[in-house]
Amino acid sequence: MRTKSIALAIAAVLVGAIGGSMLSPRPTGAVSREIIQLQEQMSQLLQGQQAMRSAIDSNNASMRTLVQQSLDSVNALNAQMGTLQKNVQEATANSGSKIDTMSSQTQGLSDNLSDVQARVGKLATQMNDIQGTLQSIDGRLAGGATPGSAPAPGAAGGTGAPGAAPAGGTPNGSGNGLSSMPGISSDTLYQNALRDFTTGKYDLARQEFGDYVKQFPNTDLASNAQFYLGEISYQQGEYKDAIAQYNVVLTNYPQSYKQGASLLKKGLAEVEMGSKATGIRDLREVVRRFPGTDDARRAQAKLKELGATSTSARSTAPH
């Protein structure tokens, strides 16, 4: 029993020693080392955080710079696009005006050539008639050689009647022959007017074409002269007056080959004035009445430009 007590006491002492050793504080040197390690780790973490923050700030600055440069580039590109669009619009407007002018001038030159060819043929016929008349006069003079010396007495009121009549008839006859050739004076006036039109002397050409229409209203070229009065007003931007002049051609000269051109230019003038619906109607009428012509093709091109069809919905609807 006593032995057992002694063993228990020894065991208690051992347990107490072990427990004391476990509960006793660590040495001061070990604690200091752990604190130093923790401080070093914290310092490293702080340095890493600062480095990361610096990198982020640098990246943000670079991004802001790139974004600003992109915005500047976009703004510059927008400005350039605006300028380019403006230039294109101006160039298109100028080109359209130049094309219209060139088309009118080309048309004038073409008409000039056709008219010259036609008038040359007429002049050749008239020259043949004049030559025949002169030959007849020469024959009469040759047949009356004796009284041919009597012009002076006839002029003085003498009695040289047999010779006076042929002598008096000669200049009057030839004069009447020249005055009976309206093609010469009318052609000269028309060609002068057409030349002034094609060279851009619109005011002078307007006066000349107006004089032609007044003096020679029944000639083949009267409708042409009337048409060019409309062309002059169109070129000068006087669209209302141009429409009135084209209407004169359409109304007073139904057989003129300028009917298609007059209706076409009337429609274009109406569009220029802002009467788009009326202009489209007249352009469609050109396509309908003059199919396959240059006037019809120009009308179709203008209708396409305006976003309109060549025929109205009513005419294409099924019956």
Question: How far apart are alpha carbons 235 and 242 in whole angstroms?
Answer: 9
pLDDT at residue number 280: 96
Q: pLDDT value at position 139?
A: 55
Residue 278: Cβ-neighbour burial (10 angstroms; 0-12, 13-18, 19+) = middle
| Closest to 101 in 3D by CA, of 229, 236, 272, 249 | 236
Q: Distance between CA atoms of 197 and 183, rounded to whole angstroms? A: 20
d(CA 268, CA 279): 6
Tokens standing for residue 127: 């020259």
Q: What's the pLDDT at 87?
A: 79
pLDDT for the residue 77: 80
CA distance linking residue 151 with residue 157, whole number of Å: 10
Q: What is the pLDDT of residues 59-95, one digit of tens each?
A: 888 888 888 888 888 888 878 887 887 777 777 666 6
How far apart are the C-alpha atoms of 205 and 85, rounded to whole Å?
A: 37
DSSP state, residue 219: S
pLDDT at 284 over 70: yes
Q: Of 190, 203, 188, whose CA–CA distance to 108 is shortest? A: 190
Is 186 in contact with 215 (CB distance < 8 Å)? yes
pLDDT at 300 exceeding the cut of 70: yes
More confident residue, 297 or 311: 297
Count of all residues that appear for the chain in the document: 319
Cα torsion 284, 290, 294, 295: sign: negative
Q: Residue 205: which of 302, 108, 111 has the closest Cα?
A: 108
Residue 255 above 90 pLDDT?
Answer: yes
Give pLDDT tens digits for 128-180. Answer: 567 556 655 655 555 554 444 344 333 334 434 334 333 333 333 333 333 33
CA distance 86 to 76: 15
pLDDT tens digits along 178-190: 333 444 478 899 9
Candidate from 72-86, 223-237, 253-267, 290-304 with smallest mean pLDDT? 72-86
The pLDDT confidence band at residue 246, using thresholds 50, 70 and 90, is very high
Mean of all residue pLDDT scores within the chain? 76
| Residues 163/149, Cβ–Cβ less than 8 Å | yes
For the whole model, what pTM was predicted? 0.47
